[in-house]
Amino acid sequence: MAKGKVLIAMSGGIDSSVAAMLLLEQGYDLVGVTFRTFDSIRESCLAKEKGCCSIESIMEAKHLAEQLGFEHHILDFRETFRKHVIANFVDEYRRGRTPNPCVLCNSHIKWGELMAAADEYGCDFIATGHYARITQKNGHYFLRKAVDTHKDQTYFLWMLSEENLRRTMFPLGDLTKEQVRAIALQHGFEKLSKKRESQEICFVADNNYRSFLASEGVETSVGDYIDADGKVLGKHNGYTCYTIGQRKGLGIALGYPAFVTKIDAERNQVTIGTHDELYTNEVRIIDNKFLGDSSQPVFAQIRYRSQPSEARYKDGVLTFKEPVWAVTPGQSVVIYQNDLLVGGGLIE
């Protein structure tokens, strides 16, 4: 007898595919879904299942579901994706900030639209191939870091509500990436086991942010590089081309390594300075939540690839024990106590 019915989000990649294999082995009934967010797929491509119009990943997910013996649906979330993710991405860059679209996609699309789809298909849970775990403590549901700390993705999931977590399963949370590849190979999917992962934002072609922003109506002109005292040092190509902490591609020689330290969208000015000018002890966050113990130290992570740093949290302000480098407005900061994710917010 099946344990329950699970909506499994499938990208066509190895992680979500192995998650589906594991859930089937554990006795769950599955409904697979792959969603369209930002693409130019024509209906004729879908009908013919041709490898055109960026359709490969959708068809790979569909065919894998067929091989494993469960139903699969293609869901069109493009309108919602544009409204919540792309519009925010464009607006944040227009304001001189650096957004993290994957965080919003998870909260509004994967745990927004997918929850509605789970209800429509009569599913008890949703599941994804994220590397994360869920635990309960003091009557609350918490995200917990994955066993594979190099692959842990809780940073991108901090916006999920407790209601989301009550109905979510992460089959890969206790596995390493190497173990996931081995499982794919054991099930006879050798090609899948060797598949590379995309590290780019799905809707920005060739990782060309400026071209994408221009296509969305964000045009910026040449402006001034200035130092911390307001002295003009040279010209830049438009403030949307830069992010805090950037060193490469500045196109200016000052006789010392220069970094972007501030962006002023209103004046189209980019402040540059030394490496040490980017250190700070205090970070103010907005749209924040916190379920931890504020009387105890926390460990806050200010970007995906950075190491969490010890801090104190109070009323939307993180005060770090040691200075942190290149705090970037618009990015997420995620707060941990031990391996539990107890809060997060957007850097203001």
Catalytic residues: 105, 202
- The set of long-range contacts for 231-238, using a CB threshold of 8 Å and a minimum separation of 24, is 233/272, 236/270, 238/210, 238/268
Q: How far is CA 343 from the centre of its chain?
A: 16
Question: Are the CB atoms for 290 and 342 separated by under 8 Å?
Answer: yes
What gap in Å lies between CA 20 and CA 70, rounded to an integer?
Answer: 10
Q: Cβ of 266: how many Cβ atoms within 10 Å? A: 8
Residue type, 3: K
- Residue 280 near residue 262 (C-beta atoms within 8 A): no
Under a CB-based contact definition with an 8 Å cutoff, are residues 252 and 225 in contact? yes
- The rounded distance, in Å, linking the Cα atoms of 323 and 75 is 45
Strands 223-226 and 269-273: what pairing? parallel
